[in-house]
Structure 1
């Protein structure tokens, strides 16, 4: 439906010890963090907006399958925010007592484990206000955060505000017998979804259509990256990204490169104010 670059392209990485935890190594994908990706949800596809992951439901974006909660704290926080919603701000308010369903997720060993996720109603997440609703199409939790003047990550399930940044953890054992914990920051591409990701009609991170932001990801996602890494690690990452940007990437994101050929947009080179919006 929409052009996407082929998977498996060259990437540049940087790694550094977390200034706040010398036992943790941060390994970050510079090709992704210096890309011009930006969410284009909210506009009609004919106007350069999000085509959606299902061609038949472009106005629903990537909200079709619901969101898995990371833990009980994530569930409790979202439940508290739901109390702020009303029938005027949440299209499916009648479902306020029935927003969570049981499911399973595959762990690192390939075994299925119990998990909780947001319910899917009529083909999309229970919190998704459909096209034509007075508040406009989109997440009711996100819209409430905007009304309250807080960052959406304070109201939405964690996976919703993290995407399409992917954070993974692992422990590496070195030849000298020592080990180091590694926090990986990279792009949540199609493959990151597992086999189901290849069934999407479109996925934003690989498409030039979504690589037209004026700021690189490390700046536009400063608040989220700070939450994921901690302020000291994010500040170090921002310094390294800015330095690499000045020198020029050897392996730029091909979707950003393709978008620049169509519509050059100046890239803002500055360190972000990583202060959470609250």
Structure 2
């Protein structure tokens, strides 16, 4: 099935953050109401065809700040050898490295080490605890959200949050926070060279729930509970409008096209119109 073009039309909504009136959220309804789900271990091809079992972990994870490093370090100390396949490697050589793209004028950029084509926290197929991120698996075993154990970039993916200062003609200004799909472009220039990527692939748009529901904990962490409540209502209204449009008959008696649906969700056949 064909991957969704990067510039496919999208529906957006804007809202003032109920908790921070000086902020406005710009949310991608097309993405948030899509049926994307992570298919790691269930058909994921991986971003590198030579390492399909590594999913999107082939490049390691770039840590955002000291708090990000501290959170992951605390979890890494609690992981036992039955949970973390490369624990001995990490104890001997470390799990954190400085990256080559450091800004000489800023703090060092840090990332998880890459070992044999994958993040050092990635358990490979055949490991007794199962393949996948040791940090994620630890969270599941402890009954906590993975966002409390994983690097920021990992638990946020495939959501993307960006910031922009907006100045209005009357001299006022606000901070615009955009929540959208972490598509190929978000990876930088190299994103266009990924062998496969899930967000635009119909193979990954087979979720039982829309993204704004399935990724609720992550969205609440990104925008706060008050803003999420408004975001969820807008998504529900969008889905209702899309369903009504899909059921309606056009001038020639044929159903109208669901123009507000993520193309990958439509191609996957998981659009709900009931």
TM-score, structure 2 as length reference: 0.89
Give me the whole-angstrom Cα distance separating, in 2, the residues matched to 1:250 and 1:175. 33
1:255 pairs, out of 255, 258, 264, with: 264
1:52 positional shift:
0.7
In structure 1, distance between residues paired with 2:273 and 2:48: 31
Larger Rg: 2
Describe the superposition over 1:96-143 as per-residue Cα deviations: whole angstroms up to 9, x where unpaired. Answer: 340100115589xxx987311111111110000011111111001111
Instruction: Give the whole-Å Cα distance in 1 for the aligned partners of 2:272 and 2:162.
Output: 31
Question: Which whole-Å CA distance do the structure 2 matches of 1:96 and 1:113 have between them?
Answer: 23
- TM-superposed deviation, 1:212: 0.7
| Structure 2: runs of 5 or more not aligned | 243-257
CA contact (8 A) 2:32 2:212 kept: yes
Matched, 1:102 2:98: yes
Query: Relative to structure 1, is the Cα distance of residues 210 and 89 closer, same or farther in structure 2, using a 3 angstrom cutoff?
Result: same
Structure 2: distance between partners of 1:13 and 1:105 = 34
The equivalent residue for 1:15 is: 14
CA contact (8 A) 2:102 2:109 kept: no
TM-score (norm 1): 0.88
Q: How does 1:61-210 map to 2 (within 5 A)?
A: 61-97=55-91, 98-103=94-99, 114-210=108-204
Whether the aligned pair in 2 keeps the contact of 1:204 and 1:210 (CA below 8 Å) is: yes
Task: Give 4+ residue runs of structure 1 displaced > 6 Å after superposition.
Answer: none
SS in 2 for 1:134: coil
RMSD: 1.9
**Distance of aligned partners of 1:104 and 1:237 in 2 relative to their CA distance in 1, 3 Å threshold:** farther
Distance 1:89 1:241 in 2: 38
Give unpaired runs (5+ residues) of structure 1: 44-48, 269-278
Secondary structure of 1:170's counterpart equals strand
Asked whether the 8 Å contact 2:31–2:262 carries over to 1, the reply is: yes
* Deviation, structure 1 residue 250: 4.0
Partner of 1:30: 29
